[in-house]
Amino acid sequence: MGWRRCGRERRQEFLRRPARSRYAGCMHHGLLTAIALSSVAASAVGGDAPKRVLFVRGAERSGGFLEAGNDAQRTEQLADITNGSTASGNHGWLTFATTLRDAGFVVDQVAEPLETGAPGSGQTAGAPLDFGQLPLNAYDVVVLASNNAAYPSSIVDVFESYVRRGGAALIISDANFGGSWADAPTSDQAFLDRFGWTVQQDQGTYVLRRSEGDFVTPGHPILAGVDAIDGEGVSPLVVPETDTVDGVASTIVVRAKPGQQTRNNDRTPGPGTSRAVGQRDAVLAVATVDRGRIAGHFDRNTFFNANGAGTNINRFDNSAYAVNLFAWLADGPGLRCRVDYTGDGAVTAADVDAYLAMAIAGEPIADLAGAFGHVDAFDVLTFLRAFAQGCP
């Protein structure tokens, strides 16, 4: 029905252009009703809706091989937003999530499943999530931070489409919590390839300071009120001097510390080769990608709970930096453009037709209010508000 009947291959198209629905005739009345209700919906839903963030976590037991000695530790290393531990060396992100919620964000998390044939105990690799079956359009920002699974191009296509149509993504590199040195960069790299960036392996512990010239784009809004941030076991991102991917415009906001070493992601299972940090190695890189935005940050540890491994969100200006980072990511065209289902750069009656077809079919892409696997009146109201606003 709806989207599926129009052809599964259309999920591979970056702008996801649905064919005209088999419901086009019978939904004519619904189309007119939707247009008539659009202004009512905008009023009924109220002002600006809270920004929504989805964290993607690795599968159970998929984290940690340098520090984890048992299954509980392998899972604890996954930077879970429900982990409120303040024990020495913790990897929890509950304080991080609470900080974002206190700033007005709605924060959710989804975990990768175990791989087929996963052992009953011991290290796991995890299996990729099917982003085509998740309501990505309900979220302003999706975070890849403790993912470990290797994602096929068909699923990366869906993620890229989400970003290019107005979504935002934060990729936080950290190489040493998976089953080998290369695991986390390997998982991230399939996504970063679409934007022309490369992720490194862990090496180095340092503080980045405004006063020392580390903030190479000091006026960027992410750095407002921020004088210093830090990381431990850091994995910089390599950003090309000239962007190589259509629609991508990259900026290094904070550079990797001069005089330090970085480790290339060029060897597995052992550590990669070391080299001196260069001008294109980034602590924080950002980019606009068509209508969407992406950011890459060099370490999970920046956001750990108090007493976290190496550092934590309470040190320096890490907390203010976190809020600014998500505020910038969520400040793009956002949902208004993601409901441009026909990909013509505007939200029109044709998009209403396409949306209603997908809503009737119960497609995850129609779940705009974020109730996993469920399309209801709140989703329709959310769509109608976006329709009333139109693309910028």
Mean pLDDT calculated for residue range 85-113: 97
Tell me, yes or no, whether 222 and 363 share the same domain. no
Residue predicted with more confidence, 57 or 184: 57
Tell me, yes or no, whether 288 and 375 share the same domain. no
Mean pLDDT calculated for residue range 208-216: 98
The confidence score (pLDDT) of residue 280 equals 97
Count the domains in the chain: 2
* Gyration radius of the chain's alpha carbons: 21
Tell me, yes or no, whether 271 and 366 share the same domain. no
In a domain, 14, yes or no: no
Cα 112 from Cα 364, distance rounded (Å): 17
The confidence score (pLDDT) of residue 178 equals 54
Tell me, yes or no, whether 147 and 240 share the same domain. yes
Tell me, yes or no, whether 180 and 117 share the same domain. yes
- Give just the sign of the alpha carbon dihedral 359, 329, 55, 282: positive
Task: Concatenate the DSSP letters of all residues of 257-322 into one string.
Answer: PTT-EEE-S--SSS---EEE--TTEEEEEEEEETTEEEEEES-SGGGPPTTBSS--TTSTTHHHHH
Q: Confidence band (pLDDT; 50, 70, 90) for 343?
A: confident
Helix/strand/coil for 228: strand
Tell me, yes or no, whether 185 and 321 share the same domain. yes
pLDDT one-digit tens code per residue, 293-307: 999 999 999 999 999
The pair phi, psi for residue 40, each rounded to 5°, is -65, -40
Which residue, chain included where needed, has tokens 């208004």?
336
Tell me, yes or no, whether 263 and 381 share the same domain. no
Cβ-based neighbour number of residue 10 at 10 Å? 14
Q: 183-202 b/e with 16+ CB inside 10 Å = b?
A: bbbbbbbbbbebbbbbbbbb
Tell me, yes or no, whether 385 and 309 share the same domain. no
CATH number at residue 244: 3.40.50.880
- Residue 314, pLDDT > 90, answer yes
Averaging pLDDT over each range in 48-57, 80-89, 333-342, 370-379, which range is the top one?
80-89
Tell me, yes or no, whether 325 and 381 share the same domain. no
- Residue 373, pLDDT > 70, answer no
In a domain, 44, yes or no: no
Tell me, yes or no, whether 303 and 357 share the same domain. no
In a domain, 26, yes or no: no
In a domain, 63, yes or no: yes
In a domain, 23, yes or no: no
The confidence score (pLDDT) of residue 268 equals 64
Residue 315: which region, alpha, beta or left (left: phi > 0; alpha: psi -120 to 50)?
beta
In a domain, 36, yes or no: no
Q: Report the percent of the chain where pLDDT is more than 70.
A: 83
Domain around 379: 349-389
The answer to whether 301 and 231 are in contact (CB under 8 A) is yes
- Residue 12, pLDDT > 60, answer no
The answer to whether 267 and 273 are in contact (CB under 8 A) is yes
The lowest-confidence range among 53-62, 158-167, 286-295, 339-348 is 339-348
The pair phi, psi for residue 274, each rounded to 5°, is -90, 150
Q: Confidence band (pLDDT; 50, 70, 90) for 48?
A: low
Mean pLDDT calculated for residue range 29-58: 59
- Residue 3, pLDDT > 50, answer no
- Residue 284, pLDDT > 80, answer yes
Tell me, yes or no, whether 197 and 56 share the same domain. yes
Residue predicted with more confidence, 51 or 19: 51
The answer to whether 110 and 129 are in contact (CB under 8 A) is yes
The confidence score (pLDDT) of residue 248 equals 98
Q: Confidence band (pLDDT; 50, 70, 90) for 26?
A: very low
Q: Which two tokens stand for residue 293?
A: 């935005």
Cα 147 from Cα 171, distance rounded (Å): 10
Strands 205-209 and 228-232, how do they pair? antiparallel
In a domain, 72, yes or no: yes
Mean pLDDT calculated for residue range 145-150: 85
Which class for 88: exposed (0-12), middle (13-18), buried (19 or more C-beta within 10 A)?
exposed
Q: Confidence band (pLDDT; 50, 70, 90) for 333?
A: confident
Q: Confidence band (pLDDT; 50, 70, 90) for 44?
A: very low
Task: Concatenate the DSSP letters of all residues of 9-71 into one string.
Answer: GGGGSTT--PPPPTTTTTTHHHHHHHHHHHHHHHHHH-SPPPPEEEEEEPPTT-S-SSS--SH
Q: Confidence band (pLDDT; 50, 70, 90) for 63?
A: confident
Q: What is the DSSP letter of 122?
A: S
Tell me, yes or no, whether 292 and 361 share the same domain. no
Cβ-based neighbour number of residue 244 at 10 Å? 11
- Residue 175, pLDDT > 70, answer no
HSE, side-chain direction, 13 A CA sphere, residue 222: 25
In a domain, 46, yes or no: no
Mean pLDDT calculated for residue range 241-255: 97
